[in-house]
Each structure stands twice: as C-alpha cells, then as structure tokens.
Amino acid sequence: MKSRVFAERAWTALSIASCYLALVAGTAFAQQTKPNILFILADNTGYGDIGVYGGGELRGSPTPRIDQLAAEGLRLTQFMVEPSCTPSRAALMTARYSIRSGLSLVAVAGTPFSLPDNEVTMAEMLHDAGYATAIFGKWHLGGQTYSQPQNQGFDEFYGIPPSDTWDAFGMIRQGHQTKSVDIPIEKGPQIVEAKRGEPLKFVKPYTEEVRRGIDWELVDHGVDFMTRQKAAGRPFFLYLPISRTHFPNLPSKRFEGASRIGQFGDSLMEGDAVVGSILDALTKLGLEDDTIVVFASDNGPDGPGASRFGADMPDIGSSGPYRGALGDISEGAIRTPAIVRWPHRIKPGTSYAMFSIMDFLPTFAGLVGGKIPDDRPIDGIDQSGLLLGQDQDGARKHLLTFVGSDLVAVRWKQFRAYFVDVAPGRSGGGGASLMGGIGSSAAPMNGYPKVFNIESDPQEEHNIGEMYNWVLGPLLKIVEEYKASVVQSPNPSAANMTKF
C-alpha cells in the first residue's frame, strides 16, 4: 500500500514538474519568437557614400560588408530623416517630429535642450514588450538626468556623454590653443556608462586616441550584450549609433591610408568593417535568422569646405545625385542610405517607397506586438506591410521638415516645397538651400513657396511652382493638418539659440 502511495505521489510530482518545465519552455519559446533588433546608425554618411548607392569603390573607398547586407535585405532608396543629428535621433526614438520634443536643433552641451521626461521612446516600447535594451555609442538627446538613455528605456548605456557628439574631445586642445580655458583631462569629456536607473559613471577620458578606436569598443560591448541575452533566452534591442563618418574622421591605425581619398574614405571603410564585425558576431551566435538588422544614416554628409584636423583631402561625404549636406533642408541632407534585413521574412530587393526615420518605432511595435502612446500625435507610420512585401507602395506619402521654430519645407510624393528662401549656403547657390542648426539664415518668400520635382530635378534647380500650382493644394493641406494637431497637443518651446 505504502509503495503504491509513494508511486502515486512520485507520479504526481513528476507530472507537476513536467508541466512546469513545459510552461517554462513554452514561455522561452514565446519570447524567442519575437525577433531581436540590431539597429546600426551611421553618422553623417551621405546617400552617395555607400557602394550600392553609387559610392564605395567608385569613390575610392569600398564598402563590401554594407553592400552585402543590402544584397541580403531590402534597400530603401527614399529613406527620409531630419536635417541634423539631434533632430533625427529624437524622431527615431519617439516616432514624432523633433519639434514636438523641443529638439529641432542640434543639442549642444551646456544648453537646456533635452529629451522631455514624458516622451515614450523606442527602447521603452520594446522593454515593455519583453526586450532587453542597450545603447552603445552616441545618444545626443541632451544631458539632463531624465533625458539620459538609462532613464529613457535602456537597460545599458556605454558611450560618449549624452549631450555631446564625436568631436567633443577637441575642447581641451581648443581651450589651450585659444588660452581661453584650461581644462585638465580628467575634467574634460569622459566615456561614460550606466545601467537602468543608475547615475552615469565615468570610465575614462574621451581623448583623440579613444576617438580613433571607439567603434571597436562599441562592437565589443554589443557582442557581449547579445551573447548574454542569447544565454538568457531573451529577445534584445541593440542600438548601435557608431561614430563613422562624423568629423573629425580620425581612423584607427589599422585603417590609416586604406582608401584612395584621405581620412574620410579611411573612416568610411572602417565603418564598413565595424558593421561587418557585428554582423559576423550575430552569425556566430546563431542569431542571424532571428534578428532584424537595420543600417541607416542620421542625415546627409558634411558639406563642401570641410577640412579638419590636418586632413590631406576635404573631410566630406557625398549626397549622390541630390543637392544638400548636413544642416541643409534640401534632399541631399534628409535622404540617406537605409537597409533592413530579416532573413526568410523580408524579401531582398530595392524599394522606392518613402520611409521616414520616424516609421521604425510603429513598425517595430507592429511586428513585435508593442504598444505606442495614444495620448499624443504620432507622426511615424507602421510600415510592416512594406517590409513584409504586402504593400509595395508603402504607407507614407508626405513629410514635413523643421529647423528650430520654423516649418521650412514639405514633401508630398515627388514634389518638395520650401517656405523660406536663403542666402547661399554650403550646398552652393541660393534657392532652396538652408544651413540649419547653428548658422541658419532664412528670409520670407513673398507668399509663394518654391516647388521642385525631386525625381526629374534632383539638384532642385528648376522652380515649377507657377507651372504646377495645383500641387500647392495637397502640400498646404499637409501643413494645415499639422497645425491642427498642434492646437490639440501643443509643442514645447522650440529649440532656439539666437532669438531671445
């Protein structure tokens, strides 16, 4: 009798254990069915810099690994961003025009511009959907404590100070040169790190030497993060905003002289190798098929006349067939390369559909079952149908462009209209060019926008506003819809460093 009772109890315990293990395994499986997301954001890399976009070997600086990624994924040829670093990154993280966050100019350390505490970021959305989240690199959305990435949805952060960009190390040397400030190295810009909810910790001074090798540090952190998440059976979001090809384009010793066009080309080739290295790690971990990989650039290239830190050739990229560069509002500033790969789910090829940097957050939410806020205007659009081959044309037909407090341009289909006229800028000539951020110069246009057909006139040389005046109706309707949204949900004060 006792043996039978013991056997029954043993069988019951075994059944409970089996059910528990099945539940655990089922939970792990459910988590693993959500794709990992690896988002590599290049810096100031122009449309015409990457090989598959007309650059690469033709420019004297091959990009074989990014070209291979394009062959394996969907290459977007009408990927639209904002004119400069901070605005694009704010739009990426919030799925909202940067002006809605008060970040429509480049953030500068020491100024009050910072990502508001109440913004809901891509990292927060994915974390709430069960993802481990990390950013290694450049945040550039302000230094206020509430704005820092470890307080905006990321579990881990390692990189340059949250309010700085890649040339921050130069302040110590510049202070010495001008005899204006004398900053000891331990008080200058630092590499920092933080875990979720913790204060920033200084790791080491951010020097010229560190800048040369920073991207390889970011790769090492990224590989370690992916390895740990695989072991934990948890899907991950790894945001890797690398330094290439932001000035000063100081390559590591390994890549000095690698290209035929000076240090910009060397830096571009090093960035390509960085992308290849993190992709190789993904493959070695056996995660390639389960990971959405995005490679994109935040804005157009640095413009003509840029020659910094002893470069033997101008330290500039290429906007390809389009007019404009970093800080302008013309097409070459806001159309950049972008590639999305997800094996067996996203069919390799090329898409001409318009896709905004704001669209990634709602698209990812649609793919992983995440939630986006419903208490504020969301300007991003779920483009999962485009990525999965269900909608060849895409869901986006228009896009606004802001600089500081001003709505300066609108795009509808292939037509682009400008509401400001400007003095000649770095793009050469006047017309639609606008030097945004610091140095902007704009004047009213006597009531009529200038209109260009980007497809037939990529250099924006021929104003067709009078001939195609019927285009103004749809263009201005888009503006009115935006204005109505601001009445319902007012923007914070726009970024401004000149109008007091």
Catalytic residues: 85, 140
Residue type, 345: R
49 token code pair: 């810099």
Dist CA 208 CA 412 (whole Å): 43
Dist CA 70 CA 91 (whole Å): 24
> In sequence order, which residues have a C-beta less than 8 Å from that of residue 242 and are 6 or more positions away?
40, 41, 42, 43, 137, 138, 215, 218, 271, 274
Dist CA 297 CA 132 (whole Å): 24
* H helix runs in 159-262, sequence order: 170-178, 208-232
User: Other CB atoms closer than 10 Å to residue 129's CB: what's the count?
Assistant: 16
> In sequence order, which residues have a C-beta less than 8 Å from that of residue 16 and are 6 or more positions away?
none
Dist CA 482 CA 184 (whole Å): 48
40 φψ region: left (φ > 0), alpha (ψ -120 to 50), beta (else):
beta
Nearest to 84 by CA among 123, 140, 136: 140
* H helix runs in 258-396, sequence order: 263-284, 331-334, 360-368, 384-387
Distance of CA 394 to the CA centre of its chain: 20
The answer to whether the bond into 245 is cis (omega within 30° of 0) is yes
Instruction: Concatenate the DSSP letters of all residues of 294-329 into one string.
Output: EEEESS----TT---TT-SS------TTS---TT--
Residues 170, 191: contact at Cβ < 8 Å? no
Dist CA 443 CA 426 (whole Å): 17
Q: Tell me whether residue 204 is exposed, middle or buried, using C-beta atoms within 10 angstroms of its C-beta: 0 to 12, 13 to 18, 19 or more.
A: exposed
Nearest to 122 by CA among 95, 100, 157: 95
To 10 degrees, what angle do helices 263-284 and 64-72 make?
50
478 token code pair: 């888009």
Residues 69, 58: contact at Cβ < 8 Å? no
What count of residues does the chain have? 500
